[in-house]
Structures are given as structure tokens and as C-alpha cells.
Amino acid sequence: MADAALRGLRVRPIEAFERARFDEELATHHWLGSHLVGQTMRYVALGPDGCWVALLGFGAAALACRPRDDFVGWSERQHFRRLGYVVNNQRFCVLPEGRRPNLASAVLARTLLRLSGDYRSRWGHPVLLVETFVDPARHHGTCYKAAGFELLGESLGYGRVAGRYVHHGRKKLVFARALRRDARRILSADFDHPALQGASGLIDLNALDFDGRDGLMKRLASLPDPRKPRGVRHSLAAMLAMATAATLAGARSVLAIGEYAADCPQEVLARLGARYHPVRKCYVAPSQDTFERVLAAVDTEALDEVVGTWLFEQVRAGRLEGEQLVLALDGKSMRGAQRDDGRAVHLFSAMVHGSGIVIGQHGVDERSNEITAFRPLLEHLDIAGCLLTADAMHTQREHASFVVAKGADYLFQVKANQPGLLASIEAIPLDAFSPEHESHLRAHGRSEHRYVRVAAVPETSTSPTQPR
């Protein structure tokens, strides 16, 4: 097939009414027939004229395959937990109409580009790795090599028949291709990566320092334990580490924290300091009731400071964010949390833009507002080099001076609550702004709210609220 014809090649999943034709073509042209097993996807490749030129079938990965398992590097527990994210190209058949140079590798390449998304749409999870077995008596796997597959080795010559392994002696070549660069790291990681859930906005816990020399476990061990020593089975640091990991993974209730801990594999429980049960010979997680009692009794302000400081250091170390670090300051009333007088608890928080990580929060006194919580929230945080954003309430000279003194920048909103400052900003000539900002102002009109960013400056320079 010429290059122009290859550019017109299309690959798509078959329609329901095409299943009979798909099976018939495979039964006719493929020596293994049409039977696929597991969570299957069936594809047809069409030439520029719409005719069928190739068929592909994907299904469950091999339960046991030493070359693949060595390639991934996962443990036995990880293997069984995550095998579903690996699929096997169980059938690949180029039909007589498509037997032209380079067509097979072109079909494979186009299929792999959409395979993970199609599995997510149909089966609810992505695919990270594709494997296949090639009979060297029939083929050499040339098209797989051309499509980026890696030869991992040979199988042992066993086949699974009626739930049992039978040695047939016909060794197969084992090929595999990762569908994303970090596929092997994700499949062999202690914590489940957000990609395994097809989720976005969650945090990769594998990147965080839980059990290092200055990790979260060491810091949590310094917190006072509110429980009486007698009858304590789970350490406070381990429970708080599990609760932190669960919250970062998306848990929003004590019930969800208990369920997360119960589902943790042994590698994760060991890393988070769980108790080892001498009779059951395994690490065990605390129950939901235990979490509820401990989290209700612990010093929440001290816990928040420890976890927030640790998280912020993880961000500053580049484990969670890029080079530019922007913090959003905002207050929210907590649903379901009430004071003794029945009023909702109001917290003023600092959150990292992008990841949504809350690195600190401070309770707002019922007789005051968020302005008084600004300084206490940031006092213990190293915000040098950061950019802080806040709403018009915090457009205060004292706040600006405090932020600049800590070596940070700020972006405060100016509204009518600061009429003098707003008038000064409105009076700034348009040519004082950058060309991009000027065109934005002209397009939206000068009456819109302005934002003034002030970089950290020496105390001897102009006022922190003076636009630059």
C-alpha cells in the first residue's frame, strides 16, 4: 500500500451488527479462530475505500508470564491487583485485501493510540501495557517490532486448559509495549497511581516522602497521643499517616478513610507503619470506629500544622508541582461542622493552585473575620518566592507588607471597598501596561476589576500597595 493509502487508513471498534462478520473472517483467515477471553475489544482496520483490511482482538492478559513480570518488576500482590491494566493482543489478522508492505505496523500503531481510551469508555479503566505472544514457527514478530514492541523473551511452553496448566512444549516469543512512559513504575508502585483509576486532579502518593528520615511518619510521631496507653494497638503516627494518605487520595469522610485503609495492600500498610499481627502473619489496618475515635480526640491544630508544613515542603521540593508555585488564600464554612452555639465552623485556608493541596488552615474567630486569620495562617510557612492570590477583603497595606517581608509576591483584587486605590489604578495610563495587558483592557473596558501584582521589594522602596 502506498504512503498516500496508508494515510487514509482508519481503525475503529466494530459495531454490534459486525460481530458475526468479524468472527467469520477470523475463523477463515486466522489459525486460532475467533475466540477471545476476558474484557475484550475488537477492532477493524479500513482502507481508504472503506474495505476491511485487518482485524485485531484484545482481551485478558496471561495470568502467568515470567518475562513480562520481570519486565514490569511488580510483586506478586501488585501483579494480581493490577493485571487488569495489562491486555493481550490475542488476535491480529491481516486480510487478503490488506497484504501490502507496512500495513500491519501502521494498523498496530493506530490501534494503540486509542486503545486505552476505548477500554476506559467500555470497561471503566485505562490500559497501561499491551502484551502479545508470537509463534516463531509461523512469524518473527516483525510488525510488532516496527510498532514499538519490545521482545522480552520466551514463554515456558505451557498452556492453560480447563483451569490447569498443561505443558505443550511450543514456546512463544513474548512482546510488550507500554502505552505511557511511566507504565512500569505505575504498575509496580506501592500506592495506586491516579492513572489506575482514570482520575484527574488526584495526587500520586508514590512521589511523597512518608517514611524517610524527615518524612511524615517522623513528624507525626512528635504529636501527643490523647489515648490511654492501655489497650492501644495501633500507633498514632500510623493512623494519622493512613488518614493523610486517604485524604490525599480523595477520601472525604471517616468512612472513606476506613475503607481506604482496609483496601491498602501489605506494601502500603508496612510503609505507613501499620501493626503486624503475629498470628495472622500480616499487617492489619485500624477499623473505621478506631479512626473515628482517634481523629475526634487528636489535637487538630497541631496535626494540621504538621501535615500542612510537610505537604508544602513536598511541593517546594518539586514532587507535586512545577517551578511556579501559586497559593490561593480563601475561607469556607465547613458543612457538617458546628460550634457549640450551632454556627458553622469557618476556616481560612492556603491551597496550592493546580493540585488543590491545602497546606495550611486557620480557624476564623466567631467575633472576627478572615482578615485577622491572614497572618497566623502564613506565619509558620516558608512562602519565599511564591505568588499569593486573595480576594478584595485582603487588599490591606498590612497584609501586603507582611507578604513582601516574607519574600513573596501577591496578587490582590481591588474593588470598590478600596475607593482611593481603585481610583488610582483607574487613572494609570494604558501605555503603562504591557501590550498584552493593554489589549485585554481595551477589549473588556476600563471599568472591570483590576488586579495589581507587586513583587517583593526592599523596605526602603515605595509602598507595597503602590502599583509597579
CATH number at residue 39: 3.40.630.30
175 found inside a domain:
yes
Quick one: 172 and 227 in the same domain?
A: no
* Distance from C-alpha of 187 to C-alpha of 196, rounded to nearest angstrom: 9
Higher pLDDT, 339 or 431: 431
309 found inside a domain:
no
pLDDT score at 447: 43
pLDDT score at 442: 56
pLDDT score at 320: 67
DSSP letters spanning 21-81:
HHHHHHHHH-TT-S---SS-EEEEEE-TTS-EEEEEEEEEPPS--HHHHHHHT--HHHHHH
Quick one: 355 and 429 in the same domain?
A: yes
> Which of these three, 159, 187, 215, is where a domain ends?
187
pLDDT score at 52: 96
Quick one: 181 and 208 in the same domain?
A: no
Q: How confident is the model at residue 387 (pLDDT cuts 50, 70, 90)?
A: confident
Tell me the average pLDDT across 152-171: 78
- Strand pairing class (387-390; 409-414): parallel
CATH number at residue 361: 3.30.420
pLDDT score at 162: 63
Q: What is the 3-state secondary structure (H, E, C) of 252-281?
A: CCHHHHHHHHHHCCHHHHHHCCCEEECCCC
Q: Angle of helix 236-248 relative to helix 288-297, nearest 10 degrees? A: 100
pLDDT score at 465: 38
Quick one: 181 and 286 in the same domain?
A: no
Are 285 and 262 a contacting pair, CB within 8 Å? yes
Which secondary-structure segment (H or E) carries 334?
Answer: strand 326-338
SS3 state of residue 451: strand
Q: Which of 195-204, 302-311, 378-387 has the highest mean pLDDT?
A: 302-311
SS3 state of residue 209: coil
Residue span of the structural domain in which 235 resides: 198-302
Predicted confidence (pLDDT) per residue in 58-86, tens digit: 999 999 899 999 999 999 989 999 999 99
Quick one: 81 and 163 in the same domain?
A: yes
Tell me the average pLDDT across 148-152: 96
Q: Which residue has the cell 498470628?
A: 279
Predicted confidence (pLDDT) per residue in 282-305, tens digit: 999 999 999 999 999 999 888 988
Are 382 and 312 a contacting pair, CB within 8 Å? yes
pLDDT score at 333: 65
439 found inside a domain:
yes
Grid coordinates belonging to 281: 502473619
314 found inside a domain:
no
> Which of these three, 187, 212, 227, is where a domain ends?
187
Quick one: 281 and 360 in the same domain?
A: no
Residue 149 has pLDDT above 70, yes or no: yes
Residue 278 has pLDDT above 80, yes or no: yes
Q: Which of 135-139, 145-149, 202-206, 309-313 has the highest mean pLDDT?
A: 145-149
DSSP letters spanning 82-148:
HGGGEEEEEEEEE-GGG-STTHHHHHHHHHHHHHHHHHHHHHSS---EEEEEE-TTT---HHHHHTT
* Distance from C-alpha of 249 to C-alpha of 329, rounded to nearest angstrom: 22
Quick one: 210 and 284 in the same domain?
A: yes
Quick one: 41 and 94 in the same domain?
A: yes
205 found inside a domain:
yes
Predicted confidence (pLDDT) per residue in 218-273, tens digit: 999 999 999 998 889 999 999 999 999 998 887 888 999 999 999 999 999 999 99
193 found inside a domain:
no
Residue 337 has pLDDT above 60, yes or no: no
Higher pLDDT, 208 or 7: 208
Quick one: 245 and 380 in the same domain?
A: no
* Distance from C-alpha of 372 to C-alpha of 403, rounded to nearest angstrom: 14
Predicted confidence (pLDDT) per residue in 84-106, tens digit: 999 999 999 999 988 888 899 99
Quick one: 447 and 422 in the same domain?
A: yes
414 found inside a domain:
yes
Quick one: 28 and 139 in the same domain?
A: yes
Residue 397 has pLDDT above 70, yes or no: yes
288 found inside a domain:
yes
Tell me the average pLDDT across 415-425: 82
Predicted confidence (pLDDT) per residue in 18-35, tens digit: 999 999 999 999 999 999
Tell me the average pLDDT across 315-335: 71
SS3 state of residue 10: strand
Count of structural domains within the chain: 3
Dihedral angle over CA of 45, 49, 51, 53, nearest 10: -40
Grid coordinates belonging to 92: 491480529
Q: Which of 126, 51, 141, 137 is closest to 92 using CA atoms?
A: 141
Quick one: 15 and 90 in the same domain?
A: yes
